Chains A and B, each alone.
Chain A
């Protein structure tokens, strides 16, 4: 979304720093999904259309996109009765799960999640994390940025970024619900990083 002032970013074998704004847009729609802290659904669109609007960017077949949107919305636990509602008519957790569905509709290679639970309470935050975990377990790569240890605990590989540089790395392995050792390992790593 932003152009680096220094260095380069490669995705696969592509140097995306040299791409034009429109090339980046094409690149994003095919390869990336985004989940934002503030959700950022389009208020004037229904839940279903928010997902469709992203899906139709890569697939012109409305029927196929609609089928996939239904499937993904069901998989993030958004009931069918909510599909025609508008973002302001559903809860924050529900909206964020719609945001996840939108991020996943084009089957991106990578989903970027920026503090996905930052604007949510603990109950709805957990639902969102469960949804992300489920997709990750099914093979979806996710890069999540967070200050929240509960969220970080869901990661398989945790990178600690300090002042713009990677200060350390911690491999937690596959997420297992209620694994106390995993929690301890992450806590120790964070303490060692001075957190």
Chain B
């Protein structure tokens, strides 16, 4: 054992640079695997874990607008038989409000509680941060307002409810399962009791709401339950609003966009880890080749193949253990940055803590991989004869072709010799080609995400329909309001669109977008297969819904709403990542088979130039129609608010992935060029002896690596341009996005390709500078 350690130490001393390079690769591989695992196994499940901890049950029921007939007895009849337990709470509820958030506004539903909200037994609300010094006129906001919305304790939060502005000092941020995240469609505010009472006094008659948290009995089907309670409430009071949400849907809505980003990060990480693994195996094989002479000498003095292999194992396994342990540890320090991807969007407090699985797997992965590669690479050592090893394991060169004849080459001597090196060094250049290519792909995908989630958000992916603004009027004024909008010059493409939850087979919900004229939709790309519906018997359903229930274009699907049922012909498949990917689109005529719109409000979606124009239209509509305006949304501002988190995250991802790619390519060039110079040191000595300058040899060496890098950057940037969307489609299929059509800015791709080549060339020149240290005299006096 002692002699093995002795040899391992000697190997390390002799090959410090390579050992450190390998160590860094192992470190990075373990760190990236660790971060990815922590995101998926520790951070991502936080929403679900927190829901369980806060006893969120299986869902909640929101009953509002008109509570006549909804009393405790009715609720007991409604829920008693199917639930293990439930808890009722009365508060204020608003369907659509515009709330300042980030750089814009969001337009969720809102429930407002008093301080008794902290005392519920089920579906508890917890304080994450608090400034107890603020004692009156205060508000508790969902934690997401702090993580993404840009608010801090002590700030003043101003918002408008039913035409009146309110300002409160932010006393704290809360963790709440169903009402803490914009993606779930609802927020929860808690006011001091005095402010709440005043608000209740003013809005109670129209906004009083009952929120019921429930835990279902095991044998109850949640989908059927949701549909039944909704129908029962409507049967009791057709004027009531009854919304039931289930926990899995809430968790899914809370996490799906974060998950898209995290999944993209993970898959890109996997590519980087594959690159590192490829390089690791090549480096270990090179390492052994470089040390053939030492192996020969050791064998000559009596060491057995097993002793030598043991020493190499000792070295590499030690390096991999230390590198991966530090890497796995370091992944925890990176997590606060990475957590932004997950937690910032979910609005759930998360503190990274030691996770044994996330710490052990990266170490086991790197150590086993190193073991496996070393086992293969050291196989020859046992069989090699000492004399052959002393001749550095010379395998006779098998030059089948002289690729660049110096007398025929059209290039100068430096480029010609660089090209010769390129062809005689094909294995390393093939590795460089794929490494550069895959890293280019990683950067292009990161660019795609930055472009479509941050710089120029791809609205069609994030929302079913795009517009400039939405204004809704009650049934009394909707005809007149339409004329008002149509008469304006600053408004175009007015269409009526309302969202309705239709039920499928008593087990699932299909959120349906109902247009007066589907052909007026801006976002027609939402239909990725077939066509959008046109006639009153047609519907386009989401791909995820179709897949789950076995429907295809041309099939009929029967949907119901209340007591009415109707069958529709599926004309197309639409893609969506909202509402658990279960959405549909149909015309108003088609929906009239299920619902009478005569007394329903009308939601007018319109296009306009910008946020300012949109606000002007909304303000003037409010001024003209007052309380008849049911809802108003400036789409530009809302989008800005919704995108706040993603802008930061996708910028961070672009910077992070490009930086990691640059570090990986630098490390890989370091190892490749180091091995290359070592293997060619004799040739460099000869070149110097016959009069080549160090400068020209440095240039030749760096240039010899460039064709494969330039070629890879060119080929893979073009390939990535075309492959990035299919790749994203593959990643996002499980989120409901079947066919991605993200924009990929060509100048950005070119910058990535040029950047990759420039970083590689500069580093190749720096690393090739080691050629300067080679002296031809040393070659003469014996190596």
Which A residues have a C-beta under 8 Å from some C-beta of B? 1-2, 21-22, 25-26, 28-30, 32, 34, 36, 40-46, 48-49, 52-54, 56-58, 60, 62-63, 65-66, 69, 84, 86, 88, 102, 106, 114
Residue in A closest to B405 when the chains form the complex, CB atoms = A49
User: B interface, by DSSP: helix, strand, loop or mixed?
Assistant: helix
B682 contact set on A, CB distance < 8 A: 40
- CB of B368 within 8 A of chain A? no
Q: Is the CB of A65 within 8 A of B407?
A: yes
**Complex: how many Å from CA A12 to CA B692?**
22
Within the complex, what minimum Cβ distance (angstroms) separates B629 from chain A?
81
Q: Please state if B420 and A41 are interface contacts (CB–CB under 8 Å).
A: no
Question: What is the bound-complex CA distance between A25 and B684, given in angstroms?
Answer: 13
Q: Which residues from A are CB-within-8-Å of B399?
A: 44, 46, 86
- Closest Cβ of chain A: how far from B414's Cβ, in Å? 10
Q: Is B409 an interface residue (CB 8 A)?
A: yes
Residues of A within 8 A of B293 (CB): none
Compute how far the CA of A45 lies from the CA of B687 in the bound complex, rounded to whole angstroms. 12
Answer whether A2 and B686 are a contact pair too, CB < 8 Å, given A22-B693, A22-B694, A48-B405: no
Query: Min CB distance, B684 to chain A, in Å?
Result: 10
Contact A1 B776 (CB under 8 A): yes
- A33's nearest neighbour on chain B, judged by CB, is B690
Q: Does B21 sit within 8 A of A, measured CB to CB?
A: no
Distance to closest chain A CB from B777 (angstroms): 4
| Contact status A62-B409, CB under 8 Å | yes
With both chains docked as a complex, state the minimum distance between the C-beta of A92 and any C-beta of chain B, in angstroms: 15
- Looking at B399, B417, B686, B687, the one whose CB has the most chain A CB atoms below 10 A away is B686
What is the CA–CA distance of A135 and B682 in the complex, to the nearest angstrom? Answer: 28
Contact B689 A28 (CB under 8 A): yes
Instruction: Report if B397 contacts A (CB, 8 A).
Output: yes
**Distance in angstroms between the alpha carbons of A60 and B417 in the assembled complex:** 14
Docked CA distance A28–B687 (Å): 11
Instruction: Out of B420, B686, B694, name the residue touching A40 (CB < 8 Å).
Output: B686
The reply on B683 being an interface residue by CB < 8 A is yes
Q: Which of B409, B413, B687 has the most CB of A within 10 A?
A: B413
Q: Which residue of B lies closest to A22 (CB)?
A: B693
Q: Which residues of A contact B779 (CB under 8 A)?
A: 40
Q: Is B405 in contact with A54, judged by CB distance below 8 angstroms?
A: no
Contact with A along B99-143 (1 / 0, CB 8 A): 000000000000000000000000000000000000000000000
| Nearest A-chain residue to B783, judged by Cβ | A38
| Pairwise interchain contact A53-B693, C-beta atoms closer than 8 A | no
**Complex partner residue of B420 from A25, A45, A57, CB under 8 angstroms:** A45
Q: A40-B689, A44-B683 are in contact. Are A53 and B413 (CB under 8 A)?
A: yes
- On whether A36 and B780 interact (CB within 8 A), knowing A41-B686, A49-B402, the answer reads yes
Do B686 and A42 touch across chains, with their CB atoms under 8 A apart? yes
Given contacts A44-B397, A44-B399, A44-B424, is CB(A2)–CB(B692) below 8 Å? no
Tell me the complex Cα distance, A41–B397, Å: 13
Knowing A36-B780, A53-B413 touch, does A1 contact B689 (C-beta < 8 A)? yes
B356 at the interface (CB under 8 A from A): no
Interface size for B (C-beta < 8 A) is 34
A2 and B775 contact, CB distance less than 8 A: yes
Q: Known contacts A40-B686, A57-B692; is A114 also within 8 Å of B406 by CB?
A: no
* A-side contacts of B685, CB under 8 Å: 40
Instruction: Confirm or deny: B695 has a beta carbon within 8 angstroms of a beta carbon on chain A.
Output: yes
In the complex, the answer to whether B694 meets A53 with C-beta atoms within 8 Å is no
Nearest chain A CB to B779's CB is how many angstroms away?
7
Q: How far is the CB of A79 from chain B (nearest CB, A)?
A: 17
Instruction: Report A-chain residues with C-beta under 8 Å of the C-beta of B776.
Output: 1
Task: List residues of chain B with CB within 8 A of the CB of A65.
Answer: 407
Q: Would you give the shortest CB distance from A177 to chain B, in whole angstroms?
A: 30
B695 surroundings in chain A (CB, below 8 A): 22
The distance from the CB of A176 to the nearest CB of chain B, in whole angstroms, is 32
Closest to A89 in B: B399
A29 in contact with B690 (CB, 8 Å): yes
User: Given A48-B407, A62-B407, A57 and B413 touching (CB < 8 A)?
Assistant: yes
Verify A42–B397 contact, CB threshold 8 A: no
Q: Which one of A21, A41, A54 lies within 8 Å of B694 (CB-CB)?
A: A21
Asked if A26 contacts B777 (CB within 8 A), the reply is no
Whether A57 lies near B686 (C-beta < 8 A) is no
CA distance in complex: A49, B416 (Å): 11
Chain B's nearest CB lies how many Å from the CB of A138? Answer: 21
Instruction: Check if B397 sits within 8 Å of A102, measured CB to CB.
Output: no
Q: Determine how close the nearest CB of chain B comes to the CB of A24; give it in whole angstroms.
A: 9
Also in contact, A26 and B683, with CB within 8 A (given A46-B405, A48-B407) = no
CB-CB under 8 A from A44, the residues of chain B are: 397, 399, 420-421, 424, 683
Please name the residue on chain B nearest to A67 by beta carbon.
B407
Decide if B302 is an interface residue (CB 8 Å cutoff). no
A-B contact pairs, 26 of them (CB 8 A): A1-B776, A22-B693, A25-B691, A26-B693, A28-B689, A30-B691, A40-B686, A40-B779, A42-B686, A42-B687, A44-B424, A44-B683, A45-B420, A46-B402, A46-B405, A49-B420, A52-B406, A53-B413, A53-B687, A56-B406, A57-B413, A62-B408, A63-B407, A65-B407, A69-B407, A86-B397
Question: Do residues A43 and B693 form an inter-chain contact, with CB atoms below 8 A?
Answer: no
Cα separation A29 to B776 with both chains bound (whole Å): 14
Is B688's CB within 8 Å of the partner chain A? yes
CB neighbours (8 Å) of B407 from chain A are 48-49, 52, 62-63, 65-66, 69
Establish whether residues A53 and B417, one from each chain, have CB atoms under 8 Å apart when the complex forms: yes
Q: Which of A2, A57, A84 is within 8 Å of B690, CB to CB?
A: A57
A23 to B, closest residue via Cβ: B693
A56 in contact with B413 (CB, 8 Å): yes
Confirm or deny: B489 has a beta carbon within 8 angstroms of a beta carbon on chain A. no
Asked if B396 is an interface residue, CB under 8 A from chain A, the answer is: yes
Instruction: List, in ascending order, chain B residues with CB within 8 A of A34's CB.
Output: 689-690
- Complex contact B683–A54 (CB within 8 A): no
Q: Which residues of A contact B396 (CB under 8 A)?
A: 88
A40 to B777, CA, bound (A): 12
Q: A43: which B residues are within 8 A, CB to CB?
A: 397, 683
A30 to B413, CA, bound (A): 16
Shortest CB distance B417–A (Å): 7
Is there an interface contact between A49 and B406, defined as CB atoms closer than 8 Å? Answer: yes
Q: Chain B residues with Cβ under 8 A from A46's Cβ?
A: 399, 402, 405
A97 to B424, CA, bound (A): 24
Q: Which of A28, A32, A65 has the most CB of B within 10 A?
A: A28
Complex alpha-carbon distance, A106 and B690, angstroms: 10
Q: Which residues on the B side are within 8 Å of A21 (C-beta)?
A: 693-694, 772
Q: Which residues of B contact A114 (CB under 8 A)?
A: 780
Which residues of chain B from 380 to 414 have any CB-CB distance to chain A below 8 Å in the complex? 396-397, 399, 402, 405-409, 412-413
Most buried by B among A32, A36, A42: A42
Bound-state Cα–Cα, A39 to B45, Å? 68
Q: Which of A34, A44, A60, A84 has the most CB atoms of chain B within a 10 A radius of its CB?
A: A44
- Residues in B with CB closer than 8 Å to A54 are 690-691
In the bound complex, CA of A32 to CA of B777 (Å) = 15
CB of A26 within 8 A of CB of B691, answer yes
Give 6 A-B pairs besides A48-B407, A56-B413 with Cβ atoms closer than 8 angstroms: A1-B776, A29-B690, A42-B687, A46-B402, A48-B405, A60-B413
Query: Which residue in chain A gives the minimum CB-CB distance to B399?
Result: A86
A88 touches B397 (CB 8 A): yes
| Min distance, Cβ A131 to any Cβ of chain B, angstroms | 18
Known A-B contacts A44-B420, A86-B399; the reply to A1 vs B777 at CB < 8 A is yes
Which B residue sits closest to A36, measured CB to CB?
A: B780
What is the CA–CA distance of A104 and B402 in the complex, to the nearest angstrom? 23
The 8 A-B residue pairs with the shortest CB-CB distance, nearest first, are A29-B691, A66-B407, A2-B777, A52-B406, A44-B424, A1-B777, A28-B691, A25-B693
Min CB gap B40→A, angstroms: 48
Which of chain A's residues have a CB closer than 8 A to the CB of B780? 1, 36, 114
Instruction: For the complex formed, measure the closest distance between the CB of A184 and the CB atoms of chain B, giving whole angstroms.
Output: 33
Residues 676-720 of chain B, each 1 if its beta carbon lies under 8 Å from chain A, else 0: 000000110111111111110000000000000000000000000
In the complex, the answer to whether B397 meets A1 with C-beta atoms within 8 Å is no
A26, chain B: closest CB distance, angstroms: 7
A33 to B662, CA, bound (A): 44
